[in-house]
């Protein structure tokens, strides 16, 4: 038996919007720790890891570890039927081939339930080791989204370089080149407007902008984004989900042949 | 020429 009640149902709606274009089908894993997902995109160059900790749910019952295969497009269709202020409850019985999403309006005057078919997904689970990164950049998520969008109108790839001067995003295409430099800036009114750069050593890596733009669909989940870079590791683009967990995107770099 | 690396180069498939 599984029953997870999430008062801030809009979080789950936003999570689905953030990942449904990157991954088609995925197993949601439910354990005492929380509700999680790890899935690769179909070309095996990007990975999404989601964790919604059990403490973040108003009610969290998960009698045994359960993995539920879902088509994310179908799940998104169902969650779009929930109001932004609705409380969402996810329910499943042991051995069942369906999951139920229950939506309650804030004043309890409307209750809806949507039952979705589960699917068997043979997914590869990857072991992601803890790593020390050469550079970690924290910046406003809207700023990062803006830069990725702007650069993708010029080129297909972005070079992200971190030096003591700041973080530079560069691209080139048929019509020309573009460079955006963000310097460390901690003298701001609100902490989420700061750009903070922790650099152990300079690093420069190249990534496909198409994936970066896809990751920025998580922008509504968090005011800030944390970008971790090392020359011998995939980039990690992390959006913290307030008091609940995170959504992390990993992307393998492009390298010179 | 830039080539795209796969994640399996970095992460272990469990």
pLDDT means per 10 residues, chain A with 257 residues, are 96 97 96 96 96 98 95 97 97 94 96 97 87 97 98 98 96 98 93 95 98 98 98 96 96 94
Q: How many of the other CB atoms lie within 10 Å of CB of B3? A: 9
Closest CA to A139 of A192, A64, A70: A192
Judge: B2–A124 Cβ closer than 8 Å, yes or no. no
Structure tokens at A8: 């801030």
- b/e map A17-56, b = 16+ CB within 10 Å: bbbbebbebbbbbbeeebbbbbbbbeeebbbbbbbbbbeb
pLDDT for the residue A123: 81
- E strand spans, A184-256: 196-199, 203-208, 224-229, 235-241, 245-251, 254-256
Q: Considering only CB atoms, which chain A residues are within 8 Å of B2? A: 157, 206, 254-257
The answer on pLDDT for B14 being more than 80 is no
pLDDT for the residue A94: 86
User: Which of A128, A250, A254 lies at the smallest CB-CB distance from B2?
Assistant: A254
A126-127 and B12-13 as β-strands: parallel, antiparallel, unpaired? antiparallel
pLDDT for the residue A124: 80
pLDDT-derived band at B12, boundaries 50, 70, 90: confident
User: Which of B2, B3, B14 lies at the smallest CB-CB distance from A127?
Assistant: B14
**Is-contact A129 B10, C-beta < 8 A?**
no
To test the contact with chain B by mutation, choose from A23, A38, A41, A45 the residue with the greatest count of B C-beta atoms within 10 A, namely: A45
Closest CA–CA distance from residue A147 to any residue of chain B (Å): 22
Judge: B10–A252 Cβ closer than 8 Å, yes or no. yes
Provide the angle, in degrees to the nearest 10, between the axes of the packed helices A10-19 and A72-79.
Answer: 150
Judge: A255–B8 Cβ closer than 8 Å, yes or no. no
């Amino acid at each position: 038996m599984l029953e997870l009640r999430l008062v801030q149902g809009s979080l789950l709606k936003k999570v689905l919007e953030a990942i449904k274009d990157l991954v088609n089908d995925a197993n949601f894993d439910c354990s005492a720790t929380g509700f999680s997902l790890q899935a690769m995109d179909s070309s095996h160059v990007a990975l999404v890891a989601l964790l919604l900790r059990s403490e973040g749910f108003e009610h969290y019952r998960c009698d045994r570890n359960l993995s539920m295969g879902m088509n994310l497009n179908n799940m998104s269709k169902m969650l779009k039927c929930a109001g932004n202020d609705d409380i969402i409850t996810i329910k499943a019985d042991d051995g069942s081939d369906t999951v139920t999403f229950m939506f309650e309006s804030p004043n309890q005057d409307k209750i809806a339930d949507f039952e979705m078919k589960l699917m068997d997904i043979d997914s590869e689970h990857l072991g992601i080791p803890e790593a020390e990164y050469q550079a970690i950049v924290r910046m406003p998520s809207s700023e990062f989204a803006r830069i990725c969008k702007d650069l993708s109108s010029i080129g297909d790839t972005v070079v992200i370089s971190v030096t003591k001067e700041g973080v530079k995003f560069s691209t080139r295409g048929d019509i020309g080149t573009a460079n955006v430099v963000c310097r460390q800036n901690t003298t701001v009114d609100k902490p989420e407007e700061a750009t903070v750069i922790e650099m152990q050593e300079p690093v420069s890596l190249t990534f496909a902008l198409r994936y970066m733009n896809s990751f920025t669909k998580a922008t509504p989940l968090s005011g800030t984004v944390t970008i971790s870079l090392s020359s011998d590791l995939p980039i990690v683009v992390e959006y913290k989900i307030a008091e609940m967990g995170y959504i992390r995107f990993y992307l393998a770099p492009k390298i010179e042949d | 020429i830039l080539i795209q690396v796969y994640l399996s180069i970095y992460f272990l498939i469990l």
